[in-house]
């Protein structure tokens, strides 16, 4: 080997070491602090009100549990999952994470997170005390995450526009037929037939539209969502078609909305739409962006046969496989503390999320305080989120189904069949 080559190799080595030294030392999270405290690393996505609430709760927890320290870190939502997944697969991830119920399947299946130990909270206890939406955190009869708060979809309506159209602002539509009738009464067009005011921002998949369609409209129309073996969807059926026709009918038949009209939240906020469907998470934002809007909130209308349904959404707390055994116990202790009824009520006061424990429905004091959210709370006993496995693929296919009917004028049965095909390919693979 010549001297020249030796130099080249030395240089290459130097750069390799240099790059290796570039890793972020703050990523290393020691299990114990010098003082002997157990440190639980807890990752969440960044959401201001939640972090403020957590800071208070964690302070209380640490005071009650000397010897445990919580290292809370928040990451922007768009990078959160990528960061969690990459770090846990690299074996140096957080001990505790917050995780949405729609992502649970992949996390549970791959063993990225641990089931809730019996001695922390047994399955019987969880099922007795929590709303059934908790089922979206279950796999093979074990639960993998415990939520603090939750949300459900409700019907938001503009009372002033109701009054203007001669409708009773204190009697929102309660059934499918009433919803369609009210929407038609609330629609305003110009002389060219162009929509000036949407009676209801319904019929498109955007926003919560696709969740409303899949987890509310389809079951209300009598369609089953998933085949028993979980390997295909069951809504490629006459009932499914009925649901799709009803939902897209707001645009194609009743013409109370248009794909060219502003999106639901925007249109409602500006007073250009009289009704739309969204979750309690949008209420605070709406009230701050449009303080003068006379907001009415109602449970989602039942089908004409009286079937009630709503879509539920919740963020659970899950312990990851990165947690060592001593940290794991401390982490579950924190989860138990955060998901106590007392913590849930505090959480509600800061974040507007509905408590996940059933006892809230008997708490008169709380119900009086939370009057605005009552329609969402009222629906919690039947709020549900069906299993979608790879939610991204499922969602895209449903967007395709609704768009094919609304934008392309496709036959609803054919569109439904095509969408089911895309989802079934994914379900069979997952």
In the complex, the residues that contact another protein under the rule CB under 8 A are: 2-4, 7-8, 11-12, 15-16, 19, 82, 85-86, 89, 106-107, 109-112, 192, 194, 205-206, 259-262, 390, 392-393, 395-396, 399-400, 403, 407-408, 422
322 vs 343, beta carbon nearer another protein: 322
Other residues' Cβ atoms within 10 Å of the Cβ of residue 107: 24
86 vs 289, beta carbon nearer another protein: 86
Residues 6+ apart with CB under 8 A from 105: 139, 387, 388, 389, 390, 430
Q: Give strand ranges (E) for 271-422.
A: 275-279, 295-298, 310-319, 354-355, 383-384
Q: How far is the CB of 419 from another protein (least distance, A)?
A: 11
322 vs 339, beta carbon nearer another protein: 322
88 vs 293, beta carbon nearer another protein: 88
Q: Point out which residues pair with 279 in neighbouring strands.
A: 153
138 vs 403, beta carbon nearer another protein: 403
2 vs 141, beta carbon nearer another protein: 2
144 vs 347, beta carbon nearer another protein: 144
Q: How far is the CB of 16 from another protein (least distance, A)?
A: 8
What's the CA gap between 276 and 178, in Å, rounded? 14
Residues 6+ apart with CB under 8 A from 152: 133, 279, 280, 310, 311, 312, 313, 354, 376, 379, 380, 383
Q: How far is the CB of 190 from another protein (least distance, A)?
A: 8
What's the CA gap between 238 and 54, in Å, rounded? 47
Q: How far is the CB of 267 from another protein (least distance, A)?
A: 9
Are 222 and 235 contacting, i.e. CB atoms less than 8 angstroms apart?
no
Q: How far is the CB of 342 from another protein (least distance, A)?
A: 34
260 vs 368, beta carbon nearer another protein: 260
What's the CA gap between 157 and 137, in Å, rounded? 32
173 vs 205, beta carbon nearer another protein: 205
**Helix, strand or coil for residue 91?**
coil
Token pair 């038949």 is found at 253
Are 42 and 71 contacting, i.e. CB atoms less than 8 angstroms apart?
yes
Q: How far is the CB of 260 from another protein (least distance, A)?
A: 4
Q: How far is the CB of 258 from another protein (least distance, A)?
A: 8
Q: How far is the CB of 7 from another protein (least distance, A)?
A: 5
Q: How far is the CB of 112 from another protein (least distance, A)?
A: 5
272 vs 334, beta carbon nearer another protein: 272
207 vs 299, beta carbon nearer another protein: 207
Token pair 């919580």 is found at 70
Chain centroid to Cα 32, Å, comes to: 34
What is the DSSP annotation of 252-267?
HTS-SS-TTSPPHHHH
What's the CA gap between 53 and 396, in Å, rounded? 34
Cα→Cα distances 111→114, 139, 253, 268, Å: 7, 11, 47, 42
Q: How far is the CB of 312 from another protein (least distance, A)?
A: 21
Q: How far is the CB of 395 from another protein (least distance, A)?
A: 6
What's the CA gap between 34 and 46, in Å, rounded? 29
Q: Point out which residues pair with 138 in neighbouring strands.
A: 143
The separation between the first and the last C-alpha atoms of the chain, rounded to the nearest angstrom, is 53
């Amino acid at each position: 080997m010549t001297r020249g080559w030796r130099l080249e190799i030395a240089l290459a080595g130097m750069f390799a070491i240099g790059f290796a030294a570039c890793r972020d030392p703050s990523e290393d999270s020691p299990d114990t602090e010098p003082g002997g405290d157990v440190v639980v690393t807890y990752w969440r996505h960044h959401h201001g009100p939640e972090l403020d609430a957590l800071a208070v709760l964690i302070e209380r927890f640490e005071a009650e549990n000397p010897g445990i320290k919580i290292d809370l870190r928040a990451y922007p939502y768009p990078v959160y999952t990528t960061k969690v997944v990459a770090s846990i697969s690299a074996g140096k991830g957080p001990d505790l994470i917050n995780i949405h119920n729609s992502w649970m399947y992949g996390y549970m299946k791959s063993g990225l997170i641990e089931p809730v130990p019996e001695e922390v909270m047994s399955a019987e206890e969880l099922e007795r005390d929590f709303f059934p939406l908790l089922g979206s955190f279950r796999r093979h009869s074990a639960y993998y995450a415990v939520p603090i708060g939750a949300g459900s979809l409700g019907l938001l309506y503009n009372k002033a526009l109701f009054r203007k159209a001669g409708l009773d602002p204190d009697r929102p539509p309660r059934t499918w037929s009433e919803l369609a009738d009210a929407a038609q009464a609330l629609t305003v067009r110009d002389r060219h037939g162009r929509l000036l005011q949407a009676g209801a921002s319904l019929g498109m998949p955007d926003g919560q539209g696709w969740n409303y369609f899949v987890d509310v409209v389809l079951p209300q129309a009598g369609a089953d969502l998933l085949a028993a073996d979980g390997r295909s969807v069951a809504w490629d059926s006459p009932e499914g078609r009925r649901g799709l026709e009803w939902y897209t009918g707001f645009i194609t038949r009743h013409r109370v909305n248009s794909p060219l009209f502003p999106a639901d939240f925007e249109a409602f906020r500006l007073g250009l739409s009289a009704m739309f469907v969204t979750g309690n998470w949008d209420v605070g934002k709406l009230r701050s962006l449009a303080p003068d809007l006379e907001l009415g909130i109602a449970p989602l209308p039942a089908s004409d046969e009286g079937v009630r349904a709503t879509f539920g959404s919740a963020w659970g707390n899950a312990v990851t496989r990165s947690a060592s055994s001593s940290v794991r116990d401390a982490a579950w202790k924190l989860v138990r503390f955060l998901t106590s009824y007392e913590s849930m009520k505090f959480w509600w006061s800061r974040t507007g999320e509905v408590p996940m424990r059933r006892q809230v429905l008997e708490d008169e004091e709380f119900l009086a305080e939370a009057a605005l959210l009552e329609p969402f709370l009222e629906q919690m006993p039947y709020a549900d989120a069906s299993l979608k496995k790879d939610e991204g693929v499922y969602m895209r296919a449903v967007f395709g189904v609704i768009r094919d009917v609304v934008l392309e004028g496709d036959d609803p049965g054919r569109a439904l069949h095509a969408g089911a095909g895309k989802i079934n390919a994914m379900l069979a693979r997952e």
